[in-house]
């Protein structure tokens, strides 16, 4: 069911005019009271990105009184000094799980972008009881035993940019960051390119071990950004759309880094989805 224009205005009232999003769900309408209650968010970035990616969203959430924990995974961004051949998917899973455990976080909304769907799915096997909602922002939705590298290999058959990413020397421990990003705002593009760092390759090569913890989360939302062509994300979106336990949204105006391109829109969605 597509939410009516009136319901959409109620859901994201006050957001910037002109944002075009197609929102599909029977349940994605919450009360103003639910939106104003204090919530806790853990924001996990995708490939080449760190906590900095979420700055515009986390600032907005914090100004509204919510607790926000944007994080960087080991070997990337402010943790790039830890890059080593020993980093694997278990490392990134532990990054997420340890944050929740050491900060004593409960009843959180876990938000994963892009590749982070892998470590976030794995972390839920350990800390699923601390999570009340998840939001997958154009994120991988792996099955047990899958590797992110396999998603990239499949995408490389159709997308030259992905094929170029996979051109690495034998024995390499990381993937070089991109030299351009599809952001129309030149200042935004320059800012992102000044921050991206190499991505450890080890986590991409390790199969994820899952037993269904992700699907047991009570409230689940999947956001697809189709301007970013990626077969496995199209598949994930279709699967979620066919599953009544997931709420699905499609934003046709934003690029993959929606937290940079359309932070106001994403903030509104996260508040409703938490």
Query: Residue 34: left (phi > 0), alpha (psi -120 to 50), or beta?
Result: alpha
Position 156 scores a pLDDT of 67
Tell me how far CA of residue 30 lies from CA of 16, 53, 78, 134, 274, in angstroms: 20, 27, 36, 16, 10
Element containing residue 82 per DSSP (H, E): none
Residues contacting residue 179 through CB under 8 Å, at least 6 positions apart: 193
pLDDT at 180: 87
pLDDT for the residue 172: 72
| Cα(67)–Cα(273) distance, integer angstroms | 15
Secondary structure (DSSP) of 91-154: HHHHHHHHHHHHTT--SEEEEEEGGGHHHHHHHHHHHGGGEEEEEEES---PPTT--HHHHHHH
pLDDT of residue 46: 97
Phi, psi of 199 (to 5 degrees): -105, 125
The model's pTM is 0.85
For residue 191, what is the domain's CATH number?
A: 3.40.50.1820
pLDDT tens series, the chain, 274 aa: 333 333 343 344 444 433 444 444 444 444 444 556 899 999 999 999 999 999 999 999 999 999 999 999 999 999 999 999 999 999 999 999 999 999 999 999 999 999 999 999 999 999 999 999 999 999 999 999 999 999 888 876 666 666 666 666 666 788 888 888 989 899 999 999 999 999 999 999 999 999 999 999 999 999 999 999 999 999 999 999 999 999 999 999 999 999 999 999 999 999 999 9
Q: Say how many domains are in the chain.
A: 1
- Per the structure, the complete domain to which residue 143 belongs is given by 5-273
Query: What burial class does residue 30 get, using C-beta atoms within 10 Å of its C-beta: 0-12 exposed, 13-18 middle, 19+ buried?
Result: middle
Per-residue model confidence (pLDDT) at position 192: 96
In whole angstroms, give the CA distance from residue 58 to residue 238. Answer: 29
């Amino acid at each position: 069911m597509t939410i009516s224009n009136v319901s959409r205005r109620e859901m994201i009232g006050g957001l910037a005019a002109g944002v075009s999003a197609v929102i599909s769900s029977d349940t994605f309408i919450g009360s103003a009271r639910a939106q104003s209650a204090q919530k806790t968010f853990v924001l996990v970035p995708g490939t080449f990105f760190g906590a900095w990616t979420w700055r515009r969203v986390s600032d907005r959430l914090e100004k509204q009184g919510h607790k926000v924990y944007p994080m960087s995974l080991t070997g990337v961004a402010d943790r790039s000094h830890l890059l080593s051949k020993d980093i694997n998917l278990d490392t990134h899973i532990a990054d997420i799980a340890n944050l929740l455990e050491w900060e004593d976080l409960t009843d959180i909304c876990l938000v994963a972008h892009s590749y982070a769907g892998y470590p976030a799915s794995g972390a839920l096997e350990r800390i699923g009881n601390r999570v009340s909602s998840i939001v997958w922002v154009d994120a991988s939705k792996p099955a047990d035993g899958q590797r992110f590298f396999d998603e990239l290999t499949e995408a490389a058959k159709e997308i030259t940019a992905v094929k170029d990413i996979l051109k690495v020397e034998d024995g390499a421990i990381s993937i070089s960051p991109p030299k351009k990003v599809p952001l129309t705002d030149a200042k935004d593009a320059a800012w992102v390119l000044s921050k991206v760092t190499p991505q450890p390759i080890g986590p991409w090569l390790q199969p994820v071990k899952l037993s269904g913890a992700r699907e047991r989360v009570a409230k689940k939302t999947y956001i697809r950004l189709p301007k970013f062509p990626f077969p496995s994300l199209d598949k994930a979106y279709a699967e979620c759309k066919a599953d009544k336990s997931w709420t699905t949204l499609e934003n046709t105006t934003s690029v993959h880094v929606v937290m940079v391109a359309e932070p106001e829109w994403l903030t509104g969605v996260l508040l409703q989805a938490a």
